[in-house]
Amino acid sequence: MRYTYEFKKKAVELYRQGKWIDAPNDIINLKNFHDMIVRWHHLEESNTSDCLKHYGTNKKWSPEEKYELVARVIAGDTITSVAYTVGINSGLLAQWIRKYKIWGYNGLVGRRKGRKPKESAMKKNEHK
């Protein structure tokens, strides 16, 4: 479920006052909802309040940028602190670290997904 920017700002502001906003529906677990608000608070503290907005598309990370973040974690920073500073989910950063440990730098390079394109041995004949 996506929450509006205004809803997130209000939830974070109430959290700073020691209060909780009511969960918008009964579907979400209350503890998970509170954990999400705490994450929003930490994101807003380490970045700007604009980090809570939706931009429609995800940022494309280059292998060099991924490596810089992975290197910070290997050097001793925690995964969550590095993830908060750049505004990404700690699970995504953990995936990059795992891929780096298995395949090295090549694990950070984006690979095509899906089935390989069919290589046809026969070419179309163009009739004139």
What's the confidence (pLDDT) of residue 66?
Answer: 94
Report the alpha-carbon distance of residue 44 to residue 38 in Å, rounded: 10
Q: What is the pTM of this model?
A: 0.61
Q: What amino acid occupies position 109?
A: V
- Six-digit token string for 125: 């004949």
pLDDT of residue 84: 82
Give the model's pLDDT for residue 128: 56
What pLDDT does 123 receive? 60
**List of the chain residues with pLDDT < 50:** none
